[in-house]
Structure 1
């Protein structure tokens, strides 16, 4: 019983450590995971429907690799609406797995938002999210003191651990909200975007885990997930006919944890002719907290402002680089936009770029 209590306490400590230090799963390319960043970004894109997927594989050089996958879809309800604003809804599927215990989190989130145009170039969006998730862990690859054979002086996986756990999974509900302000150079009355006015700015904040869901696996003991605040600012500055500068900053505050990210990139428009639009973005980012963390180069290819694919790789600079040999995490993002014209007489131009 004493060993079991120690192990259970250790699980709580490790779980709390994950909540208090690594916090929620995250993406280096946070601009390409908008629903994870802020529910207020639901429907903030050029088109009617957006489908996206993100994958991250971190610390493969050590035996406790972290893997994260997200798939999202959101849609704007603009056709046939008489007013200037519009509603949007979305859904996100998240899966995250970490460590030898395969501590996992599977989650389904629903999103809703409303965008109100302040004028032809400025828009304010408020969004909500509600989800259902499950946390779980597996003991198959864990080692316990009773599996240490004192006669031969080594660990023996065939020995029973004699340990049982009342709960190895936990279901929780989650809720959040956010607000986003968009300014763009392109005016909403323009019917065709020839990529001549590309400057834009998004500023907002996402507030996650408003209900502070319980993450504990132990009965009669609660470990509440702290509220996470995610302020950010992303912008595109058109500096020439074919060239843009893209800048983005984001911070995350959760309990005592602080994380900051900054990215900068150059986007070259290789072809701006309608139906043949191509662009390439080369960027670099830096993520830091109290331990340092990582910097990462990034490459993004965009076709016709509809299909984009991006790749980045974290280069670890924290003290953990002794174990990782500076190899952090590979991250992939894919996004596809569906653009359509509303049938007459209900035609309504999509105002956001």
Structure 2
């Protein structure tokens, strides 16, 4: 019997089980703030931001994962107060396995930033995100042992599976809260900390229409710290801890950024290098180039888990691109001549 043909569907089932236990993740997780916590929307210097990340994982030894994320955020002042709110949209696409298990998410988000200080940027933020998720399976690519006719694989034979539909649709929702502030000389340093609760409605997502199969809620603790070294350089630290059912993920690391140009307050370029680590899974070297309002990042997972005997330490390649800008409006609320709004 040609056994490898029967493994494609098994691989998809394993992917489905993994998807139930743990959400899709990125190594440049700081470039997907809404997937971490909807209350992190709007924590940037500027009025709007667009970010995209593409991930290609484990294709060195199997047809595994290709994932893309796109999010957009716009920050708005609230009347004559020092408060802000952010409107945002998260789009996610993921294709996994030989049978093309595909997930598409369209998730609008809203975040309110309550000012806690008239002296400097300090905000308590509450965010909500929710929308439509679709999962599909290409049954034409599914092969099982039931299609073995005794001598060879026969695609005309039924696969023996009781999948009722290759399409699953459901609504999903998340909520989060975060605190962010600036500190130090001229309030040049910034930090944030937050907590999020994802899949609060425990959506059903079974291809077999099994009501017992549902997404486990996920909790995420997130933090970030940006500290200046001098006028031209600074360190940025990021960390996330998440738990979903029996699965736990801890990821964090540090980036070092150096500004290029004669004026550190209005520099045209900057260069960043650093490393993230996903506990018991991967080391992730990262390089990043900022060109005016554009940021381009590149990372690669060096697998250090038990899977490295198969992957030869090869993991996931990731590319990120973001753009941040200002709208044509008068910023009246400033502190010491600088914008007084949520930032990081």
- One fold, TM greater than 0.5? yes
Q: 1:90 is matched with which residue?
A: 88
Residue 62 of structure 1: CA displacement?
A: 2.1
Partners in 2 of 1:126 and 1:282 — Cα distance? 32
Structure 1 residue aligned with 2:268, among 260, 274, 277?
277
SS in 1 for 2:281: strand
Give a deviation string over 1:194-237, Cα, whole Å, max 9, x none. Answer: xx753111111121100010111113533110111110111111
CA gap 1:246/1:9 in 2 versus in 1, 3 angstroms: closer
Partners in 1 of 2:123 and 2:209 — Cα distance? 47
Residue 96 of structure 1: CA displacement?
A: 1.0
Residue 184 of structure 1: CA displacement?
A: 1.2
Residue 40 of structure 1: CA displacement?
A: 0.2
Q: 2:304 is matched with which residue?
A: 317
Q: 2:320 is matched with which residue?
A: 333
Structure 1 unmatched runs, 5+: 1-6, 188-195
Q: 1:161 is matched with which residue?
A: 158
Residue pair 2:9, 2:142 contacting (<8 A) in 1 also:
no
Residue 160 of structure 1: CA displacement?
A: 2.6
User: Structure 2 length as normaliser, TM-score?
Assistant: 0.88
Give a deviation string over 1:10-30, Cα, whole Å, max 9, x none. Answer: 97776334322xx10001111
CA gap 1:61/1:8 in 2 versus in 1, 3 angstroms: closer
Residue 115 of structure 1: CA displacement?
A: 0.6
Superposed counterparts of 1:116-135, under 5 Å: 116-119=114-117, 120-135=120-135
Q: 2:58 is matched with which residue?
A: 59
- The number of residue pairs the alignment matches comes to 327
SS in 2 for 1:328: strand
Q: 1:215 is matched with which residue?
A: 205
Superposed counterparts of 1:195-274, under 5 Å: 198-271=188-261, 272-273=263-264
Partners in 2 of 1:129 and 1:39 — Cα distance? 6
Residue 128 of structure 1: CA displacement?
A: 0.4
Residue 9 of structure 1: CA displacement?
A: 11
Give a deviation string over 1:65-97, Cα, whole Å, max 9, x none. Answer: 20111111111112x721110111111111111
Residue 278 of structure 2 is aligned to residue 287 of structure 1 = yes
CA gap 1:142/1:220 in 2 versus in 1, 3 angstroms: closer
Runs of 4+ in 1 over 6 A off after TM superposition: 7-13
SS in 2 for 1:140: helix
Partners in 2 of 1:329 and 1:9 — Cα distance? 22
SS in 1 for 2:140: coil
User: Structure 1 length as normaliser, TM-score?
Assistant: 0.85
SS in 1 for 2:283: strand
Residue 298 of structure 2 is aligned to residue 296 of structure 1 = no
Partners in 2 of 1:213 and 1:142 — Cα distance? 25
Residue pair 1:43, 1:75 contacting (<8 A) in 2 also:
yes
CA gap 1:337/1:10 in 2 versus in 1, 3 angstroms: closer
Give a deviation string over 1:148-189, Cα, whole Å, max 9, x none. Answer: 2423xxx435443354632111100001110111111389xx
